[in-house]
Amino acid sequence: MGVAAKAFQHWRATVAPDESTTDLCRMTGIKRSTLAQQLVRNKVSMATVIRVARAYGQDPVTALSSFAEFAGLEEGRREPTKAELISQVPYPCILKALLERATAAEGGEIPEPELCSYPHAGSVRQWFDAIDPGDLRQQLSAATGTAPQNISAQLTAGRLAPDLAIAAARLAGVSLTSGLVVTGVLLPEEGGWPPRGREQAIAELSDVELVTLARDRLDALSKVLRKRELDAKFDHALLENLG
């Protein structure tokens, strides 16, 4: 998903009016050949717009919203839901929180929770599942013309195209920038995510809810590991038969 070259050049002139193309590329780390190709193809990537905005102290979401292709993105930026926040907590952090509660129950002290890094391996799929009312794949397919199997393939691979991420957020009624955060396009603070929002969301869960969450995450991990094991066995058997 990109923006028109003419619109980009006009925006660029307002952001860095005195900068040459060489200056711009040096400031952003974008190769001149890459930018030239995008301009010739009349499709400047979202990543390019974001890198230019960051380099010149602009809010990337505000910058993107100035283009017709991303109209309404800034107005649609708001804090994520509790379910979205929890979806971005990897299972080691959930297990750690569970152990800390057990320690506290025995009279120990709970240390200050550490920030969990994200996006993590399951970020995209878990976010999609967290906002899915049950038929989001079908809705997204109908709204964008993308085949459901294509959407599923992307989610299985742990990714989602930016236009699909925005469309999914719009259909689910959540912040339009959330999908860009979980796919790593935007930094959490750029997408309106509170600094310790995930830790607070986990802290607000009851003991039963936290245990259930840990169980669900471990069940999902077990399925992934089991599939890898079966795939490895299949590959090994295939090589033996061929050899």
Which domains, and CATH codes, for the chain? 2-70 (1.10.260.40), 82-203 (no CATH)
pLDDT score, position 85? 95
* Pairwise CA distance, residues 228 & 225, whole Å: 5
Q: For residue 16, count CB atoms less than 10 angstroms from its CB and return exposed for 0-12, middle for 13-18, buried for 19 or more.
A: middle
User: What is the 8-class DSSP label of residue 68?
Assistant: G
pLDDT score, position 116? 67
pLDDT score, position 232? 81
CA 120 remoteness from chain centre: 9
pLDDT one-digit tens code per residue, 5-21? 999 999 999 999 988 99
pTM to 2 decimals? 0.85
Which positions of the chain have pLDDT values less than 50? Answer: none
* Pairwise CA distance, residues 163 & 154, whole Å: 13
pLDDT score, position 102? 85
Q: Which residues contact 29 (CB under 8 A, 6 or more apart)?
A: 51
pLDDT score, position 226? 87
Among the listed residues 231, 128, 218, the one whose alpha carbon sits nearest the alpha carbon of residue 179: 128
